[in-house]
Amino acid sequence: MIKPHGSDKLNPLYVQDKAEREKLTKEAAGLPSIVISSAAAGNAVMMGSGYFNPLTGFMNRADSLAVAEKMTTTKGLFWPVPIVNVVKDASAIKGAKRIALRDPNVEGNPVIAIQDVEAVEQFTTADMELMTDKIFRTRDPQHPGVGAFNSVGTTVISGPIKVLNFSYFQTEFPETFRTAYQIREAMSQMGWNKVVAFQTRNPMHRAHEELCRMAQEQLKTDGILIHMLLGKLKAGDIPADVRDASIRVMVEKYFPPRTVLITGYGFDMLYAGPREAVLHAVFRQNTGCTHLIVGRDHAGVGSYYGPFDAQTIFHNEVPKGALEIKIFDADHTAWSKKQNRVVMMRDVPDHKPEDFVMLSGTKVRAMLAAGEALPVEFSRPEVAKILMGFYQSERGKNAK
């Protein structure tokens, strides 16, 4: 395993000592408090988990702008996107030096973290435009990440935090949610040193399954980390519990034992394409992974990014030596009718479009909702069965 980003030792911000955590929880009850955004709660969970090592808290205005513009903090730490606590109205904590951050995603808004307030600043309109341009490469409000980023406010509260819990992720996904330090421990116990990570916010079909195998075989890794996003997604994306079930059945049936770790992390999807791909690399390095698969339209949405922009940023914009983790550049994968197996399209220049088994997302959803079996070349039947149950359930709800 490789060392964490920015430090020799992982520095998770979750308060692991039970007595100290209980003491801080009692203290929080008497502190000025504020309900933070879902994005900020996700940032707190990621810092608590060690995924955002070596950050010690939320960035201030200067660091946010520096990270957006050149992917480094004012002190020179490489980082791809601002990690901020932004609110619309900070009057409830005016003048406070220590505050309780309340979780918007759990009933009753319990305290998720305590923050020492170093500064309360305002992002200007120009600041927001610059950050939006740099992070998302578009200002289109229809882009789900742009819409979310620009809707939470412009008041930025910076300073170090101590995380008291992992929001709803640990309770709703007890078998899947894992911290970066838990993943490191699991890989160490299995004797894994060279590990390739696969990022997903979707169920895995045959092409994804084989892509993981290709990467493992070509890189000669000890194992594969399938690491799924468990936070909020745009409307229409498949819920985490359905994805989780479909991925688990695929791994159980079609991968050898002890070759795959199925885990998830608590973060809301940014849909920021290239910049989010770099963030994915940073926090996979913090789990100890040596490689990350970056495929076609990684972390993208719609047609906002070129199909391989998420690979290009690593080669053209990430400074040499900024990250220890390596990227496995993957092409689009699909079932070849000629070769009777999944291939990377770049490896079969003799193929024409009709030589592949390919289905659009719209077509897949329509078939599943109608109870039609997906081609076995496209999806494992066990995976398709779980997805079919979900889409038919959704169709039933919409019909009422």
Residues 185, 129 share a domain? no
**Residue 5 in domain:** no
- Together in a domain, 208 and 327: yes
The full DSSP string for 42-53 is HHHHHHHTTTTT
- Residue 298's identity, in one-letter code, is H
Q: Any catalytic annotation for residue 202? A: yes
Of 170, 193, 226, the residue that ends a domain is 170
CATH of the domain at 295: 3.40.50.620
Q: What is the pLDDT of residue 29?
A: 95
State the alpha helices, DSSP H only, in 190-336. Answer: 206-219, 240-254, 274-287, 309-316
Q: pLDDT tens digit string along 43-83?
A: 999 999 999 999 999 999 999 999 999 999 999 999 999 99
Q: Are residues 361 and 395 in the same domain?
A: yes
Residue 12, domain member (yes or no): no
Residue 387: give the domain boundaries.
176-399
pLDDT at 340: 92
Tallying the residues shown for the chain, one arrives at 400
Residues 207-226 as b/e (b if ≥16 CB within 10 A, e otherwise) read bbbbbbebbbeebebbbbbb
Catalytic residue among 21, 98, 193, 201: 201
pLDDT of residue 361: 75
Question: Are residues 339 and 196 located together in one domain of the fold?
Answer: yes
Nearest alpha carbon to residue 85 among 122, 127, 51, 39: 39
User: For residue 257, with 0-12 CB atoms within 10 Å meaning exposed, 13-18 middle and 19 or more buried, which class applies?
Assistant: exposed
Q: Tell whether 110 is covered by a domain.
A: yes
Q: Which domain-ending residue is among 152, 170, 188?
A: 170
DSSP 341: E
What CATH number does residue 48 fall under?
3.10.400.10
Mean pLDDT split into 10-residue runs, the chain, 400 residues: 95 97 97 97 98 98 98 98 97 96 97 98 98 97 95 97 97 95 97 96 90 96 96 83 93 95 95 97 98 93 93 96 96 91 92 88 82 89 91 70
User: From the candidates 11, 109, 193, 202, which is the catalytic residue?
Assistant: 202
- Residue 349: inside a domain, yes or no? yes
Count the domains in the chain. Answer: 2
Domain assignment of residue 9, yes or no: no
